[in-house]
Chains A and B, each alone.
Chain A
């Protein structure tokens, strides 16, 4: 017995070992498949943009390596040569690298879906793999998630196809991307994406790290469903077909660690600062994890990092969270905070930098002010220029002197129109394109009013394209979504407006009835059908009808009617429409409701209160209202001071008693006649 147990155990161990032995693989997509970073990414693919003076793809690769990935497939499309060159030079392609990097390039990839279909076609993955983009910065240890994922797959026979990694961060956190504002419904016990169980949790405090652990089935599923383009398509498809295909998606929520995708400049700004503030430890600037010569820098307090050969002028202050690359010189009396400055930059005197992101070889003259902006390689900022928030100076742009760029200005050496022309062949093979566009650039002169007298570059307007999709793509800094207005219970509002439209419809019907001489029975039919269309109760129908009829003279002849004119025009109308009224006013309660509608109207139209008696009288004579109902209303209905006032003024009672006498006389005379 015991020996058998031991054997089994051994067997398990070996199978586990086998699994362990299989190298952990990762698929890294070094393309965003969108134009979010245009025009910056026109010259450099997004994965190579420097963040804290290190290319973004290096962070991703470092993250993968540290979680134990041994084989990474890097898929490139846009400017694949540059990425390839970068990787070949980096430490990842040295023979000692623990993570073997394979670079796969193709101009045909248009989406994540294409990449994964290619993964399936080439049969690259053999086991669970990690799927990330080339712009993910993270230090999350996903081994825990990986273990959970494997466990689930072992227990549930491959039902779970994907585990997505989320980080807890409450709404409004600055690393939350506005466009990526996820709300997740999950089963809190099994951590499953779902809506079908009895009890589920809705979470708005999660940040999508864009790291997912996928089973090999994921690639197959992408092949099977050729319309899946993005991961969102995939997730949606799985959830919709969950019951049919039995596939599930789980999530892994981590409380600590850092994970974010640089999906727009807003994110770039915050991730870059988080990096300098050491949230991504151990991936810090001074660690020089890319192991490149001369990249090292020193870390001093207030998170100030200095590369080699940095010179700082007299009286210059580096307040906090500043990273300065090697061979950069800074003039006197500068004031720098929360900024990253690249290699070989020169900065003049009296410069103020706040949340500035300067890449390599940037020249900034004296008396410049830069706030929350990105200045790309080789850009020149001349004397006394001010960059307001969210400006972008793309490669080799020259600005100034004496200019203030308004908020959100994007300047590039590429002319925006040339970009539009290229729209026709969406996927530009970069090398040729750069070559032939240069001629065109020269033809168009720079506008000195926009970029300054010595400036070089074209302004990119934020929304120059027509379609919404394009507009989104142009928005470098990401969307600023307005919080939804907190209206006072929407349902009530809509109900009210429904009443209102119903009222208008009834008015229209009556008007038409009058003009075209429609029989009252047909009017009733029309109103009834309206009642169903707007889902309105019988009581409301009657009240609205009363209101419409009583307001009819105002509607037709304006509100400046005298009381005499009003009654004059109303009374015949009442007579015409009395069959309509009679159809709706049957029970005793209806009479009271109608009366209260009348009362309400005359309370509003207080100048015409005297007409009320006449109206009531007419309605009584037309046998719309019963005498008892009127008396009952009069005696019981007074609910507030105003209506009491109304009744007093009118002396309705007096008149009522008069009618009563009249009617009694009538009746008695009738009776008398009958008797005879």
Chain B
């Protein structure tokens, strides 16, 4: 076994508004499959037979009991639960399973939907005996209107600056706009070793990392690092160019640990490799006469996808976009065999109808996903929407650009545009709702018309 797969599925989905109010993020339906199915499928496709899934008790319970979130994967899932309220980061989670880690690891986030060729990332990892290799992709613009948002979403998130070398593979620099006081500062020593550096912005990190086992061991000794993306990766990228011999001796115990680990961090098979490197005339750079990799032992690489699908479903907008694209990722019949669909209705080719649905006459469904056991009555028009499981839509409804969560009931003749309707909510008959969320608080106040 060369790599162990670790799936991080304990995130709360805090940026997804009320979508995750009742359903934990890993189990949100995307194209009528739970979100977690996509990374699992990705791993299965490339031949993993076993995967460690780090998740919460709640998710574990739902996976084992709820028939709607059937995971339909052949891999052996090793579910590890962590406490929800412990506020653990991804690195904490990795530290938590350190005992299980026997080789290098491939860490994937549960919200990744991609058709990337995984071997590209792993090949970089293998070819350069890298400490870290990761996947990035060009950021996508979300075109669909997001419920509850009027107009274009402002670019609130700060840009990431990513520096790669001339080949576009070696990761040299990483900084977030938020951390920069004035301009991008790049050390000249890096420039001397890598005279050509491309600085890119507008990339999304797919949160897919190959890490050396020694990095996991390093994490175990350094408890201060709690997030892979936020702390560990920038740390490793930075450490590529600092000489451990040069650093002043620190009395502080933790620092000494750190230093010890720096040298350890990439030391598997080092002796033999060193010999091969010495004997070989291969070099990773040209222009000067120094050794391959300039004698550095820590190396970070990145594969940047030029085309193809790569989404992180961590916002409502991304969720809607993913639902639109999901059908392209697997070839299954759009209409589930067990669904009861009237012949006199119109179902677009880009729609998905889940198992045991009931769709009545004179209904039109376009570019939408209808979840399991949902009932759609007569004369209903659904466009550009996501209907989750167990929803009932009464006669004559018009639903456009909305997300209806599980077990909601939409009263007869309701007109819903660009809304997010929370799970188990009832929308009164003939209601007219525009651009808003429709969730718990609204029904509590019995006010169903929020804005005209």
Interface residues of A (CB under 8 A from B): 169-173, 183, 188, 198-205, 483-489
Residues in B with CB closer than 8 Å to A485 are 246
From B186, B187, B195, B201, contact of A205 by CB (8 A): B195
Interface residues in chain B, defined as those with a beta carbon under 8 Å from any beta carbon in chain A? 163, 186-189, 191-192, 195-202, 238-239, 241-244, 246-248, 286-288
* A198–B191 CB distance below 8 A: no
Chain A residues lying within 8 Å of B288, measured Cβ to Cβ, are 170-172
In the bound complex, what is the Cα–Cα distance between A201 and B163 (angstroms)? 9
Residue among B186, B198, B248 making CB contact with A188, cutoff 8 Å: B198
Given contacts A170-B288, A172-B288, contact A483 B198 (CB under 8 A): no
Residues of A within 8 A of B202 (CB): 198-199
Identify the interface centre among B186, B192, B200: most chain A CB within 10 Å of its CB. Answer: B192
| Other A-B pairs, 8, CB within 8 Å; known A169-B287, A201-B199, A204-B197 | A170-B287, A171-B195, A171-B288, A199-B201, A202-B199, A203-B197, A483-B188, A485-B246
Q: A198-B202, A483-B189, A488-B247 are in contact. Are A203 and B242 (CB under 8 A)?
A: no
Most B C-beta atoms less than 10 A away, residue of A169, A183, A202:
A202
Closest 8 CB pairs of A and B: A170-B287, A205-B195, A488-B247, A204-B191, A204-B195, A202-B197, A171-B192, A488-B242
The residue among B163, B199, B248 with the most chain A CB atoms within 10 A of its own CB is B199
| Chain B contacts for A483, CB-based, 8 A | 188-189, 192
* B188 neighbours in A (Cβ, 8 Å): 183, 204, 483-484
Contact B246 A170 (CB under 8 A): no
Check A486 against B197 for contact (C-beta < 8 Å).
Answer: no
Contact status B246-A484, CB under 8 Å: no
A489 touches B238 (CB 8 A): yes
What residues on A are CB-neighbors of B247 within 8 Å? 487-488
Q: Are A171 and B191 in contact (CB under 8 A)?
A: yes
Min C-beta distance of A645 to chain B, whole Å = 15
A486 to B195, CA, bound (A): 17
Are the C-beta atoms of A486 and B192 separated by less than 8 Å?
no
Residue of chain B at shortest CB distance from A483: B189
Contact residues in A for B191 (Cβ distance below 8 Å): 171, 183, 202, 204
Instruction: Give the docked Cα–Cα distance between A198 and B241 (Å).
Output: 25
Give the complex CA separation of A487 and B238 in angstroms: 11
How far apart are the CA atoms of A183 and B191 in the complex, in Å?
9
A487 touches B246 (CB 8 A): yes
**A346→B7 CA distance, assembly (Å):** 81
Contacts of B242 in A (CB 8 A): 486-489
Report whether A486 and B199 are in contact in the complex, using a CB–CB cutoff of 8 Å.
no
Q: How far is the CB of A296 from chain B (nearest CB, A)?
A: 37
B196 touches A205 (CB 8 A): yes
Residues on A with beta carbons closer than 8 Å to the beta carbon of B200:
198-199
Interface centre among B239, B287, B288 (most CB of A within 10 A): B287
Residues of A within 8 A of B199 (CB): 199-202
**CB distance B195 to A203 under 8 Å?**
yes
Give every chain B residue within 8 A of A202 (Cβ-Cβ). Answer: 163, 186, 191, 196-199
A202 to B199, CA, bound (A): 7
Closest CB of chain B to A632's CB: distance in Å? 17
Residues in A neighbouring B197, C-beta threshold 8 A: 201-204
| Contact A199 B192, beta carbon cutoff 8 Å | no
A641 → chain B closest CB, angstroms: 12
Hey, which chain A residues are within 8 Å of B243, CB to CB?
Answer: 486, 488
B286 touches A170 (CB 8 A): yes
Q: What are 6 A-B residue pairs whose CB atoms fall within 8 Å in the complex? A: A169-B287, A170-B286, A198-B201, A202-B199, A204-B192, A486-B246
Q: Measured between C-beta atoms, what is the minimum distance from B237 to chain A in Å?
A: 11
Q: Give CA–CA (A202, B184) in the complex, Å.
A: 11
Q: Tell whether A484 pairs with B287 under 8 Å between CB atoms, given A198-B201, A199-B198, A489-B242.
A: no
**Docked complex Cα distance between A450 and B324 (Å):** 86
Nearest chain B residue, comparing its CB with the CB of A484: B188
Residues from chain B with Cβ under 8 Å of A170 in the complex: 195, 286-288
Complex contact B198–A201 (CB within 8 A): yes
Closest to A170 in B: B287
Q: Which of A173, A183, A205, A485 has the most CB of B within 10 A?
A: A205
Q: For the complex, what is the distance from the CA of A325 to the CA of B402, rounded to whole Å? A: 88
* CB–CB A484/B187 < 8 A: yes
Q: In the complex, A203→B243 CA distance in Å?
A: 23
- Give chain B residues whose Cβ lies under 8 Å from the Cβ of A203: 195-197
The residue in chain A whose Cβ has the minimal distance to the Cβ of B202 is A198
* Residues of A contacting B246 in the complex (Cβ-Cβ under 8 angstroms): 485-488
In the complex, A204→B187 CA distance in Å? 12
* Distance from B74 Cβ to chain A, minimum over Cβ atoms (Å): 41
Closest chain B CB from A540 CB (angstroms): 13
Q: With CB as the reference atom, state the residue of chain B lying closest to A488.
A: B247
CB distance from B450 to the nearest CB of A (A): 38
A172 to B290, alpha carbons, bound, how many Å?
A: 11
Within the assembled complex, what's the spacing in Å between the Cα atoms of A395 and B26? Answer: 83
A229→B431 CA distance, assembly (Å): 73
Establish whether residues B201 and A486, one from each chain, have CB atoms under 8 Å apart when the complex forms.
Answer: no
Cα A198 to Cα B202 with chains together (Å): 7
Closest Cβ of chain A to B71, distance in Å, is 38
Residues of chain B with a CB closer than 8 A to A198's CB: 200-202
* A171 surroundings in chain B (CB, below 8 A): 191-192, 195, 287-288
Q: What is the CA–CA distance of A442 and B288 in the complex, to the nearest angstrom? A: 51
Q: Inside 8 A of A201's CB, which chain B residues have their CB?
A: 196-199
With the chains together, A169 CA to B239 CA distance in Å? 27
A-side contacts of B244, CB under 8 Å = 488
Residues A488 and B248 in contact, CB atoms below 8 Å apart? yes
Contact indicator B189/A486 (Cβ below 8 Å): yes
Which residues of chain B have C-beta atoms less than 8 A from A199's C-beta? Answer: 198-202
Q: How far is the CA of A233 from the CA of B189 in the complex (A)?
A: 26
Alpha-carbon distance A171/B191, docked complex (angstroms): 8
Q: Give complex CA distance A353, B286 in Å.
A: 33
Q: Which residue of B lies closest to A181 (CB)?
A: B188
Q: Which residue of chain B has its CB nearest to the CB of A485?
A: B246
The docked-state distance in angstroms from the alpha carbon of A198 to that of B201 is 6
**Cα(A172)–Cα(B289), bound, Å:** 10
Residues of A within 8 A of B238 (CB): 489
CA A169 to CA B187, docked complex, whole Å: 19
Distance from B375 Cβ to chain A, minimum over Cβ atoms (Å): 48
- Report the Cα distance A183→B187, complex, angstroms: 12
How far, in whole Å, are A169 and B195 apart by their CA atoms in the complex? 9
Q: Is there an interface contact between A484 and B195, defined as CB atoms closer than 8 Å?
A: no
Residues of A within 8 A of B186 (CB): 202
Query: In the assembled complex, how far is the CB of residue A299 from the closest CB belonging to chain B, in whole angstroms?
Result: 29
Chain A residues in 8 Å Cβ range of B192 = 171-172, 204, 483
State the Cβ distance, A187 to closest chain B Cβ, in Å.
11
Query: What chain B residues lie within 8 Å of A488 (beta carbons)?
Result: 242-244, 246-248
In this complex, the member of B202, B239, B242 whose beta carbon has the largest number of chain A beta carbons within 10 angstroms is B242
**In the docked arrangement, what's the CA distance between A489 and B235, Å?**
10
Give the one of A203, A487, A488 with max B CB within 10 A.
A488
Q: Give A201 to B194 CA distance when docked, in angstroms.
A: 12
CB distance from A285 to the nearest CB of B (A): 29
Given contacts A201-B196, A201-B197, A202-B199, A484 and B248 within 8 Å (CB-CB): no
Cα-based distance from A173 to B191 in the complex (angstroms): 14
Task: Tell me the bound Cα distance from A497 to B196 in angstroms.
Answer: 34
A168, chain B: closest CB distance, angstroms: 9
Instruction: Determine the residue in chain A with the shortest Cβ distance to B238.
Output: A489
In the complex, how many angstroms separate the beta carbon of A198 from the nearest chain B beta carbon? 5
In the assembled complex, the Cα of A483 lies from the Cα of B243 at a distance in Å of 14
Q: Could you tell me the distance between the alpha carbons of A527 and B32 in the complex, rounded to whole angstroms? A: 57
A368 to B244, CA, bound (A): 47
State in angstroms the CA–CA spacing of A476 and B243 once bound together: 34
Q: A553: shortest Cβ distance to chain B, in Å?
A: 22
* Closest beta carbon of chain A to B36's beta carbon, Å: 33
Q: In whole angstroms, what is the CA distance A488 to B249 when docked?
A: 11
Q: Cβ of A172: which chain B residues have Cβ within 8 Å of it?
A: 192, 287-288
Bound-complex Cα distance A171 to B186 (A): 16
What is the CA–CA distance of A488 and B241 in the complex, to the nearest angstrom? 9
Q: How far is the CA of A178 from the CA of B143 in the complex (A)?
A: 51
Chain A CB count within 10 A is highest, among B163, B195, B241, B244, for: B195
A329–B246 alpha-carbon span in the complex (Å): 53
